[in-house]
């Protein structure tokens, strides 16, 4: 996805929140052996939230339902219903939780998740606010509310929720990571962002996304040696964890390109594609590198693959348009230009 589309922002953050909603089914463990909430999808937008983790045992345990068996069973049925696409059944269970536990925010949390799944963002925000009102000491409630504020472009309110997490769940890396993203990419306060990424890494040294973003911040500052070092550390950690996360390899490719080593850059991008073959930005970068080296055929193939993988990104079509013009292929250039304009219009890119 590319910068600037409100639809992209909502889709990416919605994916983050729905991932959080289903963590009672699937969890990962951090370096300390604690169960953690995975947030796997990167995004770049007016709010560049990506990755991170918070130690939780799923929404049902997070809201303290372990000691209320009947309500716990009701709660545990909701993510199963959601994963099966049974929204009405999930809504009935969430309503039952509201009745069973009127003082708890857990029912409102799930009603918000259901509204979010249907892209009813204002309704979901109201439910998440109600969840925090009823369960003000639950980190997951503040996390979800903060991310929903990001969807609604209420970034000051988002920041308040992340700051709450740093104060009330200070050993978790997630809020520091998000604040680092916010300051370094959205506010162009790179040094402040670096500080937050370092705080995140103090809490979880194996946080591959904070490690990558620390490298990216150094890259923004023009310090390629430090950027390369952080990217290398991130890539080693990714391999050790067996994670599908290729951005550190993209970073190493960009550094190699800046240093004039095109062949090494292509090698890194090929490794990135092996790690995440369906990540469109990998193929965009490969296409650009091939075209720079004069290999238009492979460059065009890579850009077309990128366009197929991410229909919301106009970048591949723009690069195809420029390439076809250079190759004196007017019909193909006209096609690429038309697709570029269509995607920009459809996804609100400026």
List, for residues 188-235, the tens digit of each pLDDT value: 999 999 999 999 999 999 999 999 999 999 999 999 999 999 999 999
> Residue 106 in contact with residue 131, Cβ under 8 Å?
yes
Same domain, 152 and 70: yes
Express each pLDDT in 29-45 by its tens digit.
333 444 333 333 333 33
Q: What is the extent of the structural domain holding 303? A: 278-350
Q: What's the confidence (pLDDT) of residue 60?
A: 85
Per-residue tokens: 36: 């953690």
Backbone phi and psi for residue 124, each to the nearest 5 degrees, phi listed first: -65, -40
Average of per-residue pLDDT across 86-114: 95
Same domain, 12 and 110: yes
Average of per-residue pLDDT across 279-297: 96
Give the number of other CB atoms < 10 A from CB of residue 119.
13
Express each pLDDT in 126-138 by its tens digit.
999 999 999 999 9
Average of per-residue pLDDT across 280-297: 96
Q: What's the confidence (pLDDT) of residue 226?
A: 98
d(CA 65, CA 63): 6
Average of per-residue pLDDT across 323-327: 96
For tokens 């049925």, the residue is 77
CATH number assigned to the domain comprising residue 168: 1.25.40.10
Same domain, 340 and 228: no
Mean pLDDT, the chain, rounded, equals 85
Q: What's the confidence (pLDDT) of residue 132?
A: 97
Same domain, 241 and 329: no
Give this prediction's pTM: 0.78
Q: Which range (4-13, 41-50, 259-268) has the least confidence?
A: 41-50
Q: What's the confidence (pLDDT) of residue 213?
A: 96
Express each pLDDT in 137-191 by its tens digit.
999 999 999 989 988 889 999 999 999 999 999 998 989 999 999 999 889 999 9
Average of per-residue pLDDT across 319-348: 94
Burial tier of 311 (Cβ tally within 10 Å: 0-12, 13-18, 19+):
exposed
Does 331 reside within a domain?
yes
Does 269 reside within a domain?
no
Facing residues of 55 across strands?
36
> Residue 65 in contact with residue 72, Cβ under 8 Å?
yes
Q: What is the DSSP code string of 106-153?
A: HHHHHHHHHHHHTT-HHHHHHHHHHHHHH-TT-HHHHHHHHHHHHHTT
Same domain, 7 and 135: yes
Same domain, 6 and 107: yes
Greater confidence (17 vs 203) lies with: 203
Question: Mind spelling out the 3-state secondary structure of 273-334?
Answer: HHHCCCCHHHHHHHHHHHHHCCCHHHHHHHHHHHHHHCCCCCHHHHHHHHHHHHCCCHHHHH
Average of per-residue pLDDT across 303-327: 96
> Of 9, 10, 1, which Cα lies nearest the Cα of 343?
1
Same domain, 115 and 221: no
Long-range Cβ contact pairs of 32-37 (< 8 A, separation 24 or more) = 32/204, 37/140, 37/174
Burial tier of 124 (Cβ tally within 10 Å: 0-12, 13-18, 19+):
buried
Domains held by the chain: number? 3
Q: Which uninterrupted H or E stretch holds 100?
A: helix 87-100
Same domain, 160 and 195: no
Does 205 reside within a domain?
yes
Q: What is the DSSP code string of 172-204?
A: -SHHHHHHHHIIIIIS--HHHHHHHHHHHHHH-
Q: What's the confidence (pLDDT) of residue 68?
A: 82
Q: Is 55 helix (H, G, I), strand (E, B) or coil?
A: strand
Q: How many helices and strands in the chain, by DSSP H and E?
A: 18, 2
Facing residues of 320 across strands?
none
Does 264 reside within a domain?
no
CA 313 to chain centre: 16
Same domain, 141 and 67: yes
Is residue 103 predicted with pLDDT exceeding 90? yes
Does 267 reside within a domain?
no
Does 59 reside within a domain?
yes
Average of per-residue pLDDT across 55-62: 66
Express each pLDDT in 237-263 by its tens digit.
999 999 999 999 999 999 999 999 999
For tokens 């402040």, the residue is 192
Percent of the chain with pLDDT over 90: 70
């Amino acid at each position: 996805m590319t910068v600037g589309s409100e639809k992209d922002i909502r889709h990416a953050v919605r994916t983050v929140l729905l991932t959080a909603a289903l963590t009672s089914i699937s969890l990962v463990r951090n370096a300390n052996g604690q169960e953690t909430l995975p947030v796997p999808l990167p995004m770049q937008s007016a709010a560049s939230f990506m990755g991170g983790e918070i130690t939780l045992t799923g929404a049902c345990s997070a809201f303290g339902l372990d000691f209320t068996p009947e309500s716990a069973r009701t709660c545990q049925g909701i993510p199963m219903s959601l994963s099966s696409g049974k929204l009405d059944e999930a809504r009935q269970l969430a309503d039952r939780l509201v009745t069973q536990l009127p003082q708890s925010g857990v029912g409102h949390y799930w009603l918000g998740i259901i509204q979010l799944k249907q892209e009813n963002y204002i309704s979901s925000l109201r439910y998440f606010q109600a969840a925090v009102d009823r369960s003000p000491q639950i980190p997951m409630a503040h996390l979800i509310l903060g991310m929903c504020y990001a969807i609604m472009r209420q970034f000051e309110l988002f920041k308040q929720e992340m700051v709450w997490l740093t104060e009330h769940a200070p050993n978790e890396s997630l809020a520091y990571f998000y604040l680092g993203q916010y300051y370094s990419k959205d506010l162009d306060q790179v040094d402040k962002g670096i500080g937050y990424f370092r705080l995140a890494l103090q809490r979880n040294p194996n946080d591959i996304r904070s490690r990558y973003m620390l490298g990216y911040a150094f890259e923004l500052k023009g310090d390629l040696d430090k950027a390369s070092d952080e990217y290398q550390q991130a890539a080693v950690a990714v391999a050790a964890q067996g994670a599908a996360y290729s951005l550190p390899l993209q970073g190493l490719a960009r550094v190699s390109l800046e240093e004039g080593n095109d062949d090494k850059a292509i090698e890194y991008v090929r490794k990135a594609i092996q790690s995440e073959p369906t990540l469109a930005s990998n193929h965009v970068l490969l296409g650009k590198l091939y075209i720079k080296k004069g290999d238009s055929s492979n460059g065009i193939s890579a850009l077309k693959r990128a366009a197929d993988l991410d229909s919301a990104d106009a970048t591949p079509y723009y690069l195809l348009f420029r390439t076809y013009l250079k190759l004196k292929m007017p019909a193909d250039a006209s096609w690429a230009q038309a697709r570029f304009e269509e995607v920009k219009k459809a996804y609100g890119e400026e």
